[in-house]
Chains A and B, each alone.
Chain A
Amino acid sequence: MKTWAAAVLALLVALPLVACGRTESGPTTLALWARSDESAFLQSVVDAFNRTHTGIKVRMTLIPTGNFVQKFGLAVAGDAGPDLASIDLVYVPFFASAGVLRDITPQVRRLSYLDKLSPAHMRNAQYGSRFYALPFSGDASVLYYNVDLFRQAGLDPDRPPTTWSRIENAATAVKKLGGGRYGFYFSGACGGCNVFTFAPLIWASGGDILRGTGTSQQPSVAASPQVRQALQFYRRLWTSGVVPPQAQTDNGANQFTPFETGKVAMFATGAFGISTFTHDFPNLHFKVTPLPGRDGGSSSFSGGDEIAISRTSQHPDAAWTFISWATSMRAQDRYFGAAGVAPIRTDVALGSYSAKGATYATLAKALVSGRAVYSVQENALINDSTGPWTTMIADAVFGGDIDGAISRAQKAMSNTISRG
């Protein structure tokens, strides 16, 4: 009896030691999930963190971009989520509203460089005035143009278009060169691509596509004349034949090809274009300029990722260590900016990143002054290939029914928001 009781007692004493031993014997390992199209630079960021930290190790798992939202959400809902997630900033309000992310407001408020972080990212990191994420990697939409095609068409590459009519004129001049060359390209069936590159045309002209937040959010595509004007602008480009035919069905999978092959003069995209075009197509001479409004001005979509701690993480303090390191000036300069990824710190973006050249400087300004879409229904409203934003562009630009397309989109967006 005595022996039996002693054995139970020993077990009871030993159990906590066993539990402690796991964390005390080795470094804490954090699981980080990221979307696959971040793979190019993210591994070097993780490697740098692991090199410089002995007590914490980060292990990255890449999730196919198209499945990230479902996989991450379901994993956290089933208590099998990672500690950290690098999330496209447009989805952060949804995840925060669903209770999937840890509230990190107290730590965020203590940061000394809070005012140095990308404003668009900071807005999307909040839900109900609480912080659930911090900016991680930056991006901004700008207009890329082919210097050689501009020259051949008699256009001055140092004076890029600053209004829509100038874009149309330049596109027409390049199209006239013949030989399968076109003036302008966009992915007509890609909602995400078009909010990144088409919405800034509306914003720069003083219009908007959504108003308010939360349950009081309302679409404003019908109330903004700029939406109609921007659709008419794209419709004119399409009907005049300056846009390649594949634009109509391009879901974003082949969006770079027409510009990369030197057949298209103008194409709006983000920071990743610089490294891709420079390294993979060294004969492609390009410059970038801000996306203009109808009669001037400019705007940009500030994209990229936020970094968040999942609700189910067992190591929130270690996860915060990674976040604060990743948003530090040194990490953003050395492992993001130096790799060609737009930094999310305005001091780095406008400093060392801009010093790399005029292209980087234009991107940095676009990032700092840009904006993003904020909605817990972002996917249903904008990114979904069958959603109202994508359908509106297809019906208006390729179908020509601009008023009908806007009216249907307004109604469908209202309906989606009301269903919650």
Chain B
Amino acid sequence: MTLALRTSTRSRRRGVVGFLYTLPALVLVTVFFLVPLALLIWMSLHRWPLLGKPIWVGLANYLAIGGDGTFGQSLLFTAVYTVIITPILFLLGFGLAMLVKEQRRGAGVFRTVYFMPYVIGFASSAYLWLWLIDPSVGPIDKLLTDLGITGQPFGWTDTPTGALFAVIMSVVWKVVGFTMLLLMSGMQSVPGDVQEAAKVDGAGRFASLWHVMLPLLRRNIALVLVFSVVGSMLAFEQFYILTAGGPGNRTLTIVYWIYNSSFANFQLGYGAAMSVVLLVMLMLISGVQLYLLRDRSE
């Protein structure tokens, strides 16, 4: 009896200590995520102008989304952008990780060079690319015309395809180093004896990669893909600065439209409703991704 009581007291004390350890994180999540989320949902149920008094409208903002062609168009464009850029980032990042994963001479320099653009903010990187692709003063068009590849400046942002391509170039340049780093750390944690065993069993380089490396990298790949998809679905700065959503709204992303509805058109309630819808979509997408890429051995 005494022993049981002592055990119970000890486990209760351990529970309290555990709670105290998680308390800072809980406070942060509550203050910076749960409270703003609750406010966002509250706003989405109001006609909430930037100026003036909010008016309760129930689900009217959510119902208005159905009739908003720009919402559908920008969501579709964002999905297309995500579908295009995710495999590019993954394959390039994977290739770079393969190149720099070994501890050989000079590998550290390359890792740093590939990763360096990641530390620049998206806005700064977009402004840099705005200059690079400028048809009058940018070096890319000058190089292309000097080499005779194009007869005149390309006009990257004149067409939807050119504008999208310019953004993809800028984002890949900026983000691929991070993808490389995540995959490289996974590759380095694959035990050498497992790869040795595969080699002894007669597995070639491709078979070893496909049957040994990739299954062991499952968690890292899941992380990379979730980051890439969520990051791409939330794309804003690069489009805001490089294409301004044009030409003709053809490169308008969903977050750009939420921003404009909220802060250019002062319909904060409607912007909040679209944000909630996007949040639910992203939670579902990430859930499906994590389910598909889960470690089945667990």
Contact = CB atoms under 8 A, between A and B. Distances in A.
Interface of A: 70, 73-74, 76-77, 94-95, 97-100, 189, 245, 248-249, 251, 377, 379-380, 384-387, 391, 394-395, 398-399, 408, 411-412, 415-416, 418-420
Interface stretch (B89-97, B112-120, B255-263, B279-287): B255-263
Shortest Cβ-Cβ A-B pairs, 9 listed: A394-B248, A380-B265, A98-B51, A98-B52, A386-B245, A73-B51, A391-B249, A395-B248, A415-B67
Contacts of B158: 245, 248-249
A235 to B, nearest CB: 13
B77 to A, nearest CB: 12
Contacts of B244: 189, 251, 385-386
A418 B69 CA distance: 14
A90 to B, nearest CB: 14
A399 B246 CA distance: 12
Interface string B228-262: 00000000000000001111110010001100110
Contact of A385 (B47, B69, B155, B245): B245
Interface in B119-175: 155, 157-158
B249 A394 contact: yes
Given A245-B155, A386-B257, A411-B69, A70 B246 contact: no
A385 B256 CA distance: 11
A377 B267 CA distance: 10
A384 B265 contact: yes
B69 A412 contact: yes
A419 B61 contact: yes
Nearest to A418: B64
Of B64, B157, B261, B264, chain A has the most CB atoms within 10 Å of the CB of B264
Contacts of B247: 189, 248-249, 394, 398
Interface residues of B, number: 31
Contacts of B50: 70, 73-74, 77, 98
A77 B265 contact: no
Contacts of B248: 391, 394-395, 398-399
Given A70-B263, A249-B157, A386-B252, A419 B47 contact: yes
B81 interface: no
B52 A97 contact: yes
A245 B244 CA distance: 18
Contact of A386 (B51, B68, B260): B260
Nearest to A393: B248
Contacts of B70: 386, 391, 412
B68 A415 contact: yes
Contact of A99 (B51, B64, B246, B261): B51
Contacts of B47: 419-420
B256 A386 contact: yes
Given A411-B69, A415-B67, 15 more contacts: A74-B51, A77-B50, A77-B51, A98-B49, A248-B158, A249-B158, A377-B265, A380-B266, A385-B246, A386-B244, A387-B260, A391-B248, A398-B247, A415-B64, A420-B267
Contacts of A387: 260, 265
A367 to B, nearest CB: 28
Nearest to A414: B67
A177 B245 CA distance: 36
24 contacts: A73-B50, A73-B51, A74-B51, A98-B49, A98-B51, A248-B158, A249-B155, A249-B247, A380-B261, A380-B265, A385-B246, A386-B70, A386-B244, A386-B245, A386-B260, A387-B265, A391-B70, A394-B249, A398-B248, A411-B67, A412-B69, A416-B267, A419-B47, A419-B64
Contacts of A245: 155, 158
A94 B52 CA distance: 11
Nearest to B74: A386
Interface in B25-79: 47, 49-52, 61, 64, 67-70
A412 B270 CA distance: 14
A95 B51 CA distance: 8
A387 B70 CA distance: 9
A401 B192 CA distance: 60
A394 B244 CA distance: 13
A251 B158 CA distance: 12
Nearest to A76: B51
Contacts of B68: 412, 415
A98 B248 CA distance: 30
Contact of A384 (B49, B157, B260): B260
Of A70, A379, A398, A419, chain B has the most CB atoms within 10 Å of the CB of A419
A403 to B, nearest CB: 15
A387 B267 CA distance: 13
A419 B261 CA distance: 11
Contacts of B260: 384, 386-387
Contacts of B265: 377, 379-380, 384, 387, 416
A76 B265 CA distance: 18
Of A70, A398, A415, chain B has the most CB atoms within 10 Å of the CB of A415
Contacts of B67: 411, 415
Contacts of B61: 419
Contacts of A100: 51
Nearest to B61: A419
Contacts of A251: 244
A74 B225 CA distance: 40
